[in-house]
Chains A and B, each alone.
Chain A
Amino acid sequence: MIDWTYSEGVYELTLATPPCNEIGTAMLADLRRFLDQVDPGAHTLILRSGLRQGFCAGADLRELYRGLSDAPKDQHAPQIRQFIDAIHGVMDDLDMLPLTTVGVVHGVCFGGGFELALTCDVLIAEKTARFCFPELRLGIIPGFGGIPRLRRDVGNGLIRDLLLSGRSINAKKAQAAGLVSQVVAAGEGITAARALAAQTAKFDPTARKAAKAFIKQLPKDELLAERELFVRLAEGPALMAALKRFVESTDLRPYLP
């Protein structure tokens, strides 16, 4: 589930779905519900996790496996496409909100969770944060718009390393690469985000919105290409085999790439 508060122009949206805010149909519906009611007069959105484990561990692989297992094979591609289209809609809308959006990240920020964080205008990482794209292990690529968004922000060398190795990087490395702009001590992320929100409140709304629109555009062609490639790869046998391994794994460390 997700929860939000709204006070003096600031939304605080908190992800709180155990074990680590996996993104499935329920989370997607909650995010859509949030987006559909956003007050255009608001100036800041703070996006954070209320769970100790981290920001978000990515797509809900167990739900995905169940959904695909229950459906006839010829329905896999349409089912995946429907979910991907819906998630792209949510991610694009978050990305383009006429508010200053601040992501506060700690602990695990993997796969779809990383992609969600990348929709934010400013990322504040606590020192415990780790970022990675483990999707190749599943025979797919990140499908929630992550690579085009990362490419918008950082150099291609780091993207290739992350995409092709699946390894995770810490907050310090992410800051050095320009992926996050502020690193704070564990537990201090929300304080830093609220301070930024207070600063944002001082700005003229027209100038603030224009500045964001000027510097941050949707990489539409790449997002579309990513969606098509993702669906094509997801139709292959590698995804179902990897999902089965993940779901049936008794390894204590399934999240380690």
Chain B
Amino acid sequence: MSTTLDTLIRLAAKRFGADPAQLRAEDDLFERLGIDSFQAVELISDVEDEFDVELPDYELQGIKTFAALAQKIDARR
């Protein structure tokens, strides 16, 4: 069974055309994926949809890495 982190990385890679094998847990996802604020909004919607969670934006302030975002997702499941 894949972990939240694995699924998150696969999801982000698929949406933004990245190679999931090149994405690491501690990568800055904004820099690594090269996404702007509009694309970040899309990613949040994808994540909420995939994991069936709600992620209030204010809880995501300061979240930069895939690992930290995966933790937030798990906390809301």
List the interface of chain A (C-beta within 8 A of B): 19-20, 52-54, 107-108, 127-130, 132, 165-173, 252-257
Which of B3-11, B16-24, B54-62, B66-74 faces chain A? B54-62
From the candidates A165, A171, A256, name the one contacting B40 in the complex (CB within 8 A): A256
Alpha-carbon distance A221/B42, docked complex (angstroms): 36
Alpha-carbon distance A252/B54, docked complex (angstroms): 23
Q: Name which residue of chain B comes closest to A109, CB basis.
A: B41
Per-residue interface assignment for chain B, residues 36 to 53, with 1 indicating a CB less than 8 Å from any chain A CB and 0 otherwise: 111011101100110000
List the 7 closest A-B pairs by CB distance, nearest first: A53-B38, A255-B37, A253-B37, A167-B56, A257-B57, A170-B45, A167-B57
Majority SS of interface residues in chain A? loop
> How many residues on B have C-beta within 8 angstroms of the other chain's C-beta atoms?
17
Given contacts A128-B42, A130-B41, A252-B37, contact A170 B48 (CB under 8 A): yes
Q: List 22 A-B contacts (CB under 8 A).
A: A54-B38, A107-B41, A127-B49, A128-B45, A130-B41, A130-B45, A132-B57, A166-B57, A167-B56, A168-B41, A168-B44, A169-B54, A172-B48, A252-B36, A253-B30, A253-B36, A255-B37, A256-B37, A256-B40, A256-B57, A256-B60, A257-B57
Q: Name which residue of chain A comes closest to B48, CB basis.
A: A170
The interface residues of chain B lying within 8 Å CB-to-CB of A167 are 56-58
Alpha-carbon distance A257/B45, docked complex (angstroms): 14
The interface residues of chain A lying within 8 Å CB-to-CB of B40 are 253, 256
The interface residues of chain A lying within 8 Å CB-to-CB of B45 are 127-130, 170-171
Alpha-carbon distance A168/B56, docked complex (angstroms): 7
List the interface of chain B (C-beta within 8 A of A): 30, 36-38, 40-42, 44-45, 48-49, 54, 56-58, 60-61
Alpha-carbon distance A69/B19, docked complex (angstroms): 46
The interface residues of chain B lying within 8 Å CB-to-CB of A168 are 41, 44, 57
Q: Name which residue of chain B comes closest to A172, CB basis.
A: B49
Is A107 a contact partner of B58 (Cβ separation < 8 A)? no
Q: Name which residue of chain B comes closest to A171, CB basis.
A: B45
Alpha-carbon distance A20/B36, docked complex (angstroms): 12
Is A130 a contact partner of B58 (Cβ separation < 8 A)? no
Q: Name which residue of chain A comes closest to B59, CB basis.
A: A167
B34 to chain A, nearest CB (A): 10
From the candidates A108, A127, A255, A257, name the one contacting B58 in the complex (CB within 8 A): A257
The interface residues of chain B lying within 8 Å CB-to-CB of A170 are 44-45, 48-49, 54
Q: Name which residue of chain A comes closest to B39, CB basis.
A: A53
A62 to chain B, nearest CB (A): 15
B51 to chain A, nearest CB (A): 12
A115 to chain B, nearest CB (A): 18
Q: Name which residue of chain B comes closest to A251, CB basis.
A: B37
Alpha-carbon distance A54/B37, docked complex (angstroms): 11
B35 to chain A, nearest CB (A): 8
